[in-house]
Amino acid sequence: MTDYYRRSGDEGQQQPYTTGGYPPPPTHEPTPPVTVWPGDGGAGYQPPGGGVQAGPVGGPAHRARAKRPVALIAAVAIVAAAIGGGASVLVQRLTDNGTGGSGTGVTGTNVSQSSTGTVAGVAQAVSPSIVEISATSSAGQSTGSGVIITGDGEIITNNHVVSGADSVKVRLSSGRTYTAKVVGTDPDKDLALIKLAGASGLKAAALGDSSKVKVGDEVVAIGSPEGLTGTVTSGIVSALNRDVTVAKQQDQGQQQQQQGGGWPFEFGGQQFNGDTGSSKTTYKALQTDASLNPGNSGGALINMNGEIIGINSAMYSPSSGSGSTAGSVGLGFAIPVDTVKADLDDLRSGGSS
């Protein structure tokens, strides 16, 4: 390999010439073959002393030179990514406020994730969809409950709550009151549909699937027992497909309530809470041990997903000869929501009223 020298100063001595550890190209035109040093600048490089860089433009030296910026750019990109990643981690740690959060956004409703599947979570989610109904007729006044099923104020309740009523008033969980009209009734299924006047933007309840209900499933009941608006109780489904017989007409139920007899109904050939009279109907019901009392009628039986699975319609309450009631003893009955859904079109068209 040829060594290259230059003169240094006035000493006239020849000193090795190096730049970055590599010797320079010759100051005179070398004879072929030409040796190109790796990384020596490539074509067009002008070394000190006016020498010309060996190697044709576009030849191997040019290609070797081209590779270096690419490698450099890639390295810079990697460093920038590392710095950027570190910066993002730093920002994340600062915004976590030391809580150790992941920084991932969580979407949800007003019910917290931790309350999902709890009585508190169900009550918070569904209570705005449950109303108190006050119906007035020639027989007196009765209080029941209802379930909002559309944002413009369609409400499902029991037929025996509004049958024969001259006027119907509805109170929302917020305390706001509306006048309602009876759209349709089905006495055979003990169902009725009423509609609020001038309502909009209401929170409608989600209707579930009662065919999937099993004995032992946890449930929540919401209604207005004894006029106590928004009362929440809980329990389980204790039986399915119970044949329950109730009075068709509201005045029979009102008279029994005024006498302290609670809801009149029959089960297993026996009458409970008073005489149901001659006008009565029988339907298949869900049985629950969630506490129900007069005023829960027409309210909601809800699963732990917040879906309506039944409309509460009857309860057993032992009574003495004096007509006093002892409240619920764990025998309540609800009309399956599948029955409600199958009857909605008829109710909207006027039903059997």
148: enclosing H helix or E strand: strand 140-148
In 163-304, where does DSSP find H-type helix? 250-258
Residues 158/161/163/166 CA torsion (nearest 10 deg)? -140
Listed residue (186, 130, 155, 184) closest to 339, CA to CA: 186
Q: Are 183 and 350 in contact (CB under 8 A)?
A: yes
Q: Quote the CA–CA distance of 311 and 336 in Å, as a whole number.
A: 7
Catalytic residue status for 62: no
Catalytic residue status for 243: no
The contacts of residue 3 (CB under 8 Å, 6+ apart) are: 16, 23
Q: For residue 77, count other CB atoms closer than 10 A to its CB.
A: 10
What does the angle CA 287 – CA 215 – CA 231 come to, to the nearest 5 degrees? Answer: 50
Catalytic residue status for 28: no
Listed residue (140, 188, 213) closest to 351, CA to CA: 188
85 CA to centre of own chain: 33
Question: Which stretches of 227-273 are assigned E, i.e. beta strand?
Answer: 231-247, 265-267, 270-272
Q: For residue 189, count other CB atoms closer than 10 A to its CB.
A: 22
Catalytic residue among 224, 297, 317, 328: 297
Catalytic residue among 160, 291, 313, 319: 160
Catalytic residue among 40, 186, 190, 251: 190
- Quickly list DSSP for 131-180: EEEEEEETTEEEEEEEEE-STT-EEEE-HHHHTT-SEEEEE-TTS-EEEE
Q: Are 146 and 155 in contact (CB under 8 A)?
A: yes
Q: Quote the CA–CA distance of 219 and 233 in Å, as a whole number.
A: 9
Residues marked as catalytic: 160, 190, 297
